[in-house]
Amino acid sequence: MDAPNPQHTIIDSLTMEAEFEVPLEGKDFKTASGKFIKLAKHSGFCHGVKKAVDKTINASHQNTTDEQPTYVLGQLIHNQQEIERLETMGIRTVQTLAEIPDGANCVIRTHGAPPELITQAEARGIHVTDATCPDVRLVQNKAIELAKEGYTVVVVGKENHPEVIGISAFANEVAGAVIVAINHPAQIAEKLANVPKRRIGVVSQTTQMEDTFFDMVKHLSMVAKELKVYNTICPATFFRQHAAADLAKQVQLMIVIGGKNSSNTTHLADLCNELGTPAIHIETAKELENLSVLQSAHVVGITAGASTPEWLVQQVLDFLKTQ
């Protein structure tokens, strides 16, 4: 029997909150030496990340105790340079709830947090501002829905990623829920070995690569008798991946700007390399200094992950203008 075609699998695409994307058309330029720099149509901060940063700064401004910082439980976004900028405003990143004093202000990161942590914080009088990305919140809700319907819930993503940890924790609050995080088809047999496989429900980490997600769906369709799939890759990830792929076909080198610990940024670099266009993943313009591969390229493409602030992108562009 032929393997099921993923296109024949019923996929209920999750309707996400629409974000207003401003295309970066007409902003290409030539450098001092005549290199041609082309910008991806969509790159940099997405709506959810910008909203989270604004919420965090507002929470800090509302802090009436000047001596006490506003705390963020885990990195607000996966960009160390932006985290350092926020620290200058009195916004401190901590890794555990125990590091936050009773009665302090606490912000939940864009990736979300397990519900028990929020309950514990509120029980200690900690004032919680939830900056969970709306798209991540929708994935949490879909995972809960699948668990309530009795599906074994597969989250396509890295099990140790904070977003996946949060999604799994919310779904696990459903009595009898079975939640499994799988990041590659090769892991399916091992991960599903001891769980019910007849009815499987699927959601995705919002920053997952499209090809990986649909490849997972194809392989899961060979395992389950009933498969219910929500495509929860967020619109910003979709726009950035497609814009980077389009641009990679037009240039000799891609520069991908963003945190080395950012999944969506790393995926952009991987995507370009897979298409045959060399990609350099950098966090700051300093990493481009005296780089031979940059010096030899005449047409260079620029993109940035959804967690990369505009000011960092601008620093890279300013550096390239002098080259």
Average pLDDT rounded to a whole number, residues 246-275: 96
Q: Say yes or no to pLDDT of 25 above 80.
A: no
| pLDDT of amino acid 248 | 97
Task: Band the pLDDT of 67: cuts 50, 70, 90.
Answer: confident
CATH class of 48-132: alpha beta
Same topology for domains 29-45+236-321 and 135-232, yes or no?
yes
Round to whole Å and give the CA distance between 295 and 22: 30
The reported pTM is 0.86
| pLDDT of amino acid 68 | 85
Average pLDDT rounded to a whole number, residues 166-190: 96
The tens digit of pLDDT for each residue in 47-62 reads: 899 999 999 999 998 8
Specify the length of the chain in residues: 323
β-sheet with 152-156: strand ranges across:
11-13, 226-231, 199-204, 152-156, 178-182
Domain layout of the chain by residue ranges: 29-45+236-321, 48-132, 135-232
Q: Say yes or no to pLDDT of 295 above 50.
A: yes
Looking from the CA of 248 toward its CB, the CA atoms found within 13 Å total 23
The tens digit of pLDDT for each residue in 128-173 reads: 999 999 999 999 999 999 999 999 999 999 999 999 999 999 999 9
Q: Say yes or no to pLDDT of 5 above 90.
A: no
Round to whole Å and give the CA distance between 71 and 153: 32
- Which CATH number fits the domain 135-232, given the four candidates 2.30.110.10, 3.40.1010.20, 3.20.20.140, 3.30.460.10? 3.40.1010.20
Map the chain to HEC letters.
CCCCCHHHCCEEECCCCCCCCCCCCCCCEECCCCCEEEECCCCCCCHHHHHHHHHHHHHHHCCCCCCCCEEEECCCCCCHHHHHHHHCCCEEEECCHHHCCCCCEEEECCCCCCHHHHHHHHHCCCEEEECCCHHHHHHHHHHHHHHHCCCEEEEECCCCCHHHHHHHHHHCCCCCCEEEEECCHHHHHHHCCCCCCCEEEEEECCCCCHHHHHHHHHHHCCCCCEEEEEECCCHHHHHHHHHHHHHHCCCCEEEEECCCCCHHHHHHHHHHHHCCCCEEEECCHHHHCCCHHHHHCCEEEEEECCCCCHHHHHHHHHHHHCC
Catalytic residues, by residue number, are: 163
| pLDDT of amino acid 136 | 96
| pLDDT of amino acid 27 | 84
Considering the domain delimited by 29-45+236-321, tell me its CATH architecture.
Answer: 3-Layer(aba) Sandwich (3.40)
Vertex 320: Cα angle to 297 and 76 (nearest 5)? 110
| pLDDT of amino acid 63 | 72
Least confident of 35-39, 163-167, 290-294, 313-317: 290-294
Round to whole Å and give the CA distance between 13 and 139: 11
- How far, rounded to the nearest angstrom, does the alpha carbon of residue 184 sit from its chain's CA centroid? 17
Least confident of 19-28, 147-156, 219-228, 306-315: 19-28
- 304 bridge partner residues: 257
Hey, what long-range contacts does 187-194 have (CB within 8 A, 24 or more apart)? 188/216, 188/219, 188/220, 188/223, 192/152, 192/154, 192/223
Average pLDDT rounded to a whole number, residues 64-69: 72
Average pLDDT rounded to a whole number, residues 65-84: 91
- State how beta strands 36-39 and 29-30 pair: antiparallel
Q: Say yes or no to pLDDT of 12 above 50.
A: no
